[in-house]
Amino acid sequence: MAEEEFKQMIRLLEKDINGNLQTRHALTKVYGIKYSLSNAVCNLAQIDKAKKIGSLSDQELEKIQSIVRNPSDIPAWALNRKRDQETGKDLHLIGSDLKFSKEMDIKHLRKIKCYRGVRHSLGLPVRGQRTRSNFRQGKTVGVKKKSLKTASGKK
């Protein structure tokens, strides 16, 4: 069996990945794949996680791509689109598909004018964070106590 040559750059899931990275770290470079999912994909594909991704064969790379594109064996809690609004199925989106769906979800929230949609449109925090000291932009930045005192002293 001929030894596969080492590839410096790998094109995997529409992303150029450095071939010197370990497989579990290289998969996290794809938008939409975090560490736990990359670990699960390596386990399902039966690939050594510490092996450099540049030394993987084409069959192993195809196996990784097929698992990520059709995540039937991956548990539902690891997927990023549980019960999708349009299809009702558990999906896992990556790359530009994930960015587009997030953008469309935010547009939907703005359209129905729910609390989260209004907060998104105003550029305020959505998940209940405090706004007194953080998220200060524009006219709200800074304290103008001295200018108030001098203005009131001149009257």
Given this model, what pLDDT does residue 117 score? 95
Task: Give the architecture-level CATH label for domain 9-78.
Answer: Orthogonal Bundle (1.10)
Given this model, what pLDDT does residue 107 score? 95
Beta bridge partners of 16: 11
Let me know: does 114 contact 103? Beta carbons within 8 Å: no
Helix (H/G/I), strand (E/B), else coil: 18: strand
pTM summary value: 0.71
Task: Give the architecture-level CATH label for domain 96-149.
Answer: Irregular (4.10)
pLDDT in tens, 94-149: 888 989 999 999 999 999 999 999 999 988 899 988 888 788 776 656 666 666 66
What rounded mean pLDDT belongs to the chain? 86
Let me know: does 67 contact 47? Beta carbons within 8 Å: no
| Other C-beta atoms lying within 10 Å of the C-beta of residue 81 | 19
111 Cα distance to chain centroid: 23
pLDDT at 1 over 50: no
Beta bridge partners of 10: 17
Domain borders along the chain are: 9-78, 96-149
